[in-house]
Each structure stands twice: as structure tokens, then as C-alpha cells.
Amino acid sequence: MGRGKIAIQRIEKSTSRQVTFCKRRNGLVKKTRELSILCDAEVGLIVFSCTGRLYEYSNTR
Amino acid sequence: MGRGKIAIQRIEKSTSRQVTFCKRRNGLVKKTRELSILCDAEVGLIVFSCTGRLYEYSNTR
DNA sequence: ACGGCTATGTATAAAAG
DNA sequence: TCTTTTATACATAGCCG
């Protein structure tokens, strides 16, 4: 996706890594929520950034 | 995505829901792993299907 | 560094086998 | 019902301001 294809390996440039982290984390949460709703599943997602910050998502019943 | 647009709400037809669950769960795991590698983050994903089956993914350090 | 844009790659809904 | 195909929608990499 995007303007060019990227290899799946650690992004070395820290500013790029930070931007990608933010974008993909948002995308992942969205997909996780969609799976939960579409398929009536219970889900939990936990992400710790490399700087130690926590992000999480779960559906509640 | 796909041939038609779908609303984000529970898929009523159980066979369709099952197929979508399988495809989207695989996609979600892939995205989760990619985020972990690209952005050097620790991640955990847990999914319980509506039939009570457990699927999980986490990166190990 | 953030926020928006858009060309392009990827995921996937529906169909076909 | 499982797998494969294909057209289309969606996510996002690189840019620009």
C-alpha cells in the first residue's frame, strides 16, 4: 500500500517509524473492531510502543 | 473491499459470517505482526469466535 | 513534528469452481 | 462447504505544506 512497497523489517529512521506506528496502530484498531462487530467475536488488542506507551482495544459485552 | 461495500454490523448469514471471520482474522494477525516488526512494538491479539474458539497472536522477545 | 492528500499496494466480498 | 479467482473497496507510503 502507499506509494511504494516496503519490506517487513524494523524501520530504522525513528521519525518514519513513529509516523508508521501511529497510522498502522489506528488501522489495526479499526480492523479489530470491525472483526468483532461483523463476526460477533470477542477481541482484545494490546500494543506497547517501543517507547513503552500502551494502547489497547477490546469490545465490551 | 471486495465486490461490494458492506455495512459494519453483524453478518446474519452464518456461513458468510464464518468465511468472513476466517479471512479477516488471518488479515488481522498479519497486520498485527507487521506492526510489531516495522515499529519495534510489543503486541498481543486475542480473538474468541462466537462459537467460543480461541485465536491469539503475540510477538515474543 | 503534525495533518492532509493521493497514487499505489493490499485485503477482501462475492462469485465461481 | 472449502478453495480459488477477480473486481472493488480500503489502507497506507511517500509527499507536501
For the stretch A7-61, pLDDT in tens is: 999 999 999 999 999 999 999 999 999 999 999 999 999 999 988 899 999 987 4
User: Which of A5, A20, A39, A46 to mutate against chain B (most B CBs within 10 Å)?
Assistant: A39
Q: Nearest Cβ partner of A20 from B17, B20, B39? A: B39
| Across B30-43, average pLDDT | 95
Element (DSSP H or E) covering residue A60: none
What confidence score (pLDDT) does residue A44 get? Answer: 96
Residue type at position A31: K
What confidence score (pLDDT) does residue A39 get? Answer: 94
**Long-range pairs of B51-59 with CB within 8 A, sequence gap ≥ 24:** B55/B25, B55/B29, B57/B29, B57/B32, B57/B33, B59/B33
Query: B20 to chain A nearest CA, in Å?
Result: 7
Mean pLDDT score of chain B: 91
In order of A24, A34, B32, B50, B53, the CA distances from A27 in angstroms are 5, 11, 10, 23, 25
| Across B4-9, average pLDDT | 92
User: Does position B19 have pLDDT exceeding 70, yes or no?
Assistant: yes
Chain A contact for B48, CB < 8 A? yes
Helix axes B14-39, A14-39, angle to 10 degrees: 170
User: Does position B61 have pLDDT exceeding 60, yes or no?
Assistant: no
**Confidence grade of residue B3 (pLDDT, cut at 50, 70, 90):** confident
What confidence score (pLDDT) does residue B38 get? Answer: 95
What confidence score (pLDDT) does residue B24 get? Answer: 93
Superfamily for the A14-59 domain: Transcription factor, MADS-box (3.40.1810.10)
**Confidence grade of residue B9 (pLDDT, cut at 50, 70, 90):** very high
